[in-house]
Every structure is written in C-alpha cells, then in structure tokens.
C-alpha cells in the first residue's frame, strides 16, 4: 500500500476533509484570497454487492461499504504562466486499497505560448500519467461515466493501479489548434510508483516480496480533436523496464519489460456519447524462475460504451468490456492446463448497464449492474486462494453478478 502517513494520521485527515466538505458553501470552489488560488474537493461513498467472489471488500451476503473516495485539492497561478496544483486523496476499496491517505498529485505546470494556436509546456513533480481517456481524474466519480470504469483497462482491484495512476518526474506537452482541429502530444519521463501488489503484478506473481528499480517509466500520448471534442482520438504508449531484487536470500532476481499501446476513440453528440478503447500489454520476464527462463505473454482488452443523456440531470450507460490474459488463448484453456487454475482466471467479460442522477447541484447518485463471465481482474487480496490451484474452485465462481451504488458530493 502506498502510504505517506501512518493510518492514524490518515483517519484524522479523512475527518478534516469531511469537515471541510461539510462547512463548504454551495459553490464549485472556495476562493482562498490569494491571486486565483482555489480549493476543490469531493466525497463519495459507495456500496458493492456480488452474487459470488468479493469485490471491494466482503461484498457477498449483505454487501460491502468499503468503497470510499475523498479528495481535497488546491490550485492556482503564482505567475501568469505557472500553475501550482496539489491533491490529497483518501481511498478505501477493501483489500486492494485499504484506506490510507496519499499524495495523489503535486506539480508545477509552466506553459509557454508560442502563438494563439500553439503552446508548449512542462509539468514537474508528482504527475498524473496521460493514459487513455479517464486516468488523470479517475478517482472522482464526476469524471467517470459510471460508478466503475471498465476494469479491463482501468484496473481498480489489480496491483497495476498504483503505477497506472501517477508517477514522480516530468511531463512535456504541446498543443496546436487549426480551425476545427486540435492536436496534443504528451511525454512523461518519471519514476515508477510501486507498492507490494504492483511488484506482484509486474513480476507476474512468481517472484515473492522484493523491490523494483530500473530506468525511468516512459508514457507517451498523442491526441486529435475535432470541433471541441465532438470527435476524439488518442494513442497512448507505456514502456516499463524494471529489475527485481528479492527481499529473501532464497528469492531469484529478475527483470520485467512491459510495453502497452492503447488506442482510444470517442464521438460526442448532443445526447449521446460513444467510446471505445483497445489495449495490449506485452510482457517479457526473465530470471524469476530456476534457470532464468524468459516468460513472454501478451494480454488483450477492450471495451465499447454508450452514454445517453435523456434528461437534463439524468444519463444512462451501457458497456461491454473484455480482458484476456493471453491474447492467443481467449478461453483460457491452454493457460489453465499449464497452471492448474480454472479457465475463468484468465479472462473476464463484463456486460454493464447503469443510471446516473445529479439530483441537486453538486450531488449525484449512480447505480449499475454487471453480469460478469470470468475472474481475471479480481483482487487476490479480496479473494484469498484464488491463485491457488488447490483452493480456487472452492473460493471463486466464474459466472457472477455485481451491483454497485455510489453517492457523491463535490465543491
């Protein structure tokens, strides 16, 4: 778990955040009295219920309330072209994120306009990784299409989430506008943020406890927009090269290389939005097993999503997303024979429908139902034994239902 303070301090900070939100006036921002500095925040409480397996805590039976997101941020311009932004975040989602306060981002952004249509800039500090459509602001439900993002790409219960969200380093960007057309480029060169579950994911769950080190994380994204976002196209690439050093002398050091291209497209009409993203993650792992055999694998995932804004404060969501741990083994049969685990551990196909209602200014409630075939994106922390061939059939079910509900307030 990435934690910047002890758990007791996290609880105090969470309480302070709640008090600030409770005392906030009914506006979208609080003016701090300096230049144009402002404070924003959000508080969200969710609930999950599953017919089998556990998602965000013990969600079977009576369901789970271990789904809390609190954020508090400050931003402003010390100088006309210099933006300062920092956000603290408290997040509790069961065993996969156990309710600690952490620094979500803290950076300085220097923009360098060349003309009215062309701008370059640099951002330094803890920066949000430019990944797909939703990564930069995914912890606030106000920026998500529903309660949950498509889990096939935006992992919330797997260890890759910590590294996917943010990193410590620098980001270079450029923006160019020509009539109805806009082009953007971003390149992040930074230090990978890891926690124990991230180490497990990157090393392929075969290395045991240890630490990662290596060359900087590289994340690049290029984008095109037409008519202020009516059509959007993004291409993202993530490149990771990390060496593993085991904590135990009995462990084996190794190296993991991960290359992940993501293609994203979106059409926004007056009442409808259509979105799709496609991701491949190619991984080469060496040295983690006796003899240092090279382990190569490519996963594949995608989703197709439709949103319908049928009334001023109402919207509906329909989505299908799929994840295949091995792009050459969609039904998981070959990987199941090699590992002794059931086929459903190596894929997940999720059909989602949902509703969202902004019932008051700055308040919303969202609910959604998922029919899931497969368990590839379930957390081993919330589901002990799910990666144990001797236990997995007793503790998991390949066909299951998930209901998620969330209330949220922002200021």
pLDDT reading at 22 higher than 90: no
Look at residue 218 and tell me if it is in a domain. Answer: yes
Specify the number of domains making up the chain: 1
Residues 6+ apart with CB under 8 A from 205: 380, 387
- For residue 121 the two structure tokens come to 């800039």
1 or 313, which is more confident? Answer: 313
pLDDT at 246: 83
- For residue 177 the two structure tokens come to 């506008």
Q: Which of 24-38, 192-206, 341-355 tops mean pLDDT?
A: 341-355
Q: Which residue has the tokens 């925040």?
A: 41
Look at residue 77 and tell me if it is in a domain. Answer: no
pLDDT reading at 292 higher than 90: no
Phi, psi of 325 (to 5 degrees): -60, -30
pLDDT reading at 26 higher than 60: no
Least confident residue range of 84-88, 126-130, 141-145, 249-253:
249-253
Look at residue 72 and tell me if it is in a domain. Answer: no
pLDDT reading at 351 higher than 90: yes
From CA 147, how far away is CA 135, in angstroms rounded?
14
From CA 237, how far away is CA 263, in angstroms rounded?
9
Least confident residue range of 78-82, 158-162, 255-259:
158-162
pLDDT at 159: 64
pLDDT at 290: 64
CATH code, domain carrying 224: 2.40.160
Look at residue 319 and tell me if it is in a domain. Answer: yes
* Domain containing residue 183: 105-398
Average pLDDT of the residues of the chain: 88
Residues 46-73: tens digit of each pLDDT: 999 999 999 999 999 999 999 999 999 9
**Looking at the whole model, is its pTM more than 0.75?**
yes
pLDDT at 376: 96
From CA 257, how far away is CA 246, in angstroms rounded?
17
Percent of the chain with pLDDT over 90: 71
Look at residue 403 and tell me if it is in a domain. Answer: no
Residues 6+ apart with CB under 8 A from 286: 254, 255, 292, 293, 294, 295
pLDDT at 90: 95
* DSSP labels, 123-162: EEEEEE---TTTGGGTTSGGGSSSSS--TTTS-SSSTTHH
Percent of the chain with pLDDT over 70: 89
- For residue 316 the two structure tokens come to 């509906």
Look at residue 334 and tell me if it is in a domain. Answer: yes
Residues 69-102: tens digit of each pLDDT: 999 999 999 999 999 999 999 999 988 777 788 9
Look at residue 272 and tell me if it is in a domain. Answer: yes
From CA 351, how far away is CA 53, in angstroms rounded?
17
Look at residue 95 and tell me if it is in a domain. Answer: no
């Amino acid at each position: 778990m990435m934690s910047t303070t002890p758990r007791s301090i996290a609880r105090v900070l969470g309480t302070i955040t709640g008090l600030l939100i409770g005392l906030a006036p009914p506006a979208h921002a609080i003016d701090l009295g300096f230049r144009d500095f402002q404070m924003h925040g959000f508080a969200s409480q969710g609930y999950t219920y599953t017919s089998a397996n556990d998602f965000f805590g013990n969600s079977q039976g009576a369901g789970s309330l271990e789904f809390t997101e609190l954020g508090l941020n400050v931003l402003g311009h010390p100088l006309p072209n210099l933006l300062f932004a920092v956000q603290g975040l408290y997040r509790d989602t069961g065993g996969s994120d156990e309710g600690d306060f952490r620094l979500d981002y803290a950076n300085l952004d220097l923009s360098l306009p060349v003309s009215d249509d062309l701008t370059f800039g640099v951002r330094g500090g803890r920066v949000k990784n430019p990944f797909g459509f939703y990564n930069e602001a995914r912890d606030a439900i106000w920026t998500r299409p529903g309660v949950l993002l498509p889990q096939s790409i935006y992992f919330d219960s797997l260890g890759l989430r910590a590294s996917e969200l943010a990193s410590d380093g620098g980001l270079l960007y450029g923006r160019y506008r020509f009539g109805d057309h806009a082009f953007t480029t971003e390149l992040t060169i930074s230090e990978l943020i890891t926690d124990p579950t991230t180490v497990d994911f990157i090393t392929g769950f075969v290395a045991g406890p240890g630490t990662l080190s290596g060359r900087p994380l590289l994340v690049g994204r290029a984008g095109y927009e037409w008519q202020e976002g009516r059509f959007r196209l993004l291409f993202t690439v993530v490149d990771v090269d990390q060496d593993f050093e085991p904590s135990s002398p009995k462990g084996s050091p190794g190296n993991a290389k991960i290359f992940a291209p993501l293609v994203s497209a979106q059409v926004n009409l007056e009442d409808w939005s259509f979105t799709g993203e496609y991701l491949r993650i190619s991984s080469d792992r060496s040295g983690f097993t006796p003899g240092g055999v090279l382990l190569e694998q490519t996963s594949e995932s995608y989703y197709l999503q439709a949103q319908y804004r049928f009334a001023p404060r109402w919207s509906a969501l329909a989505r299908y997303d799929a994840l295949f741990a091995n792009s050459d083994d969609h039904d998981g049969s070959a990987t199941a024979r090699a590992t002794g685990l059931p086929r459903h551990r190596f894929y997940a196909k999720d059909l989602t429908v949902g509703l969202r209602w902004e019932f008051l200014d700055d308040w919303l409630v969202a609910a959604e139902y998922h029919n899931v075939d497969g368990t590839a994106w379930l957390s081993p922390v919330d589901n002990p034994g799910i990666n144990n061939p001797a236990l997995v059939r007793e503790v998991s079910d390949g066909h299951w239902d998930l209901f998620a509900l969330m209330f949220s307030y922002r200021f």
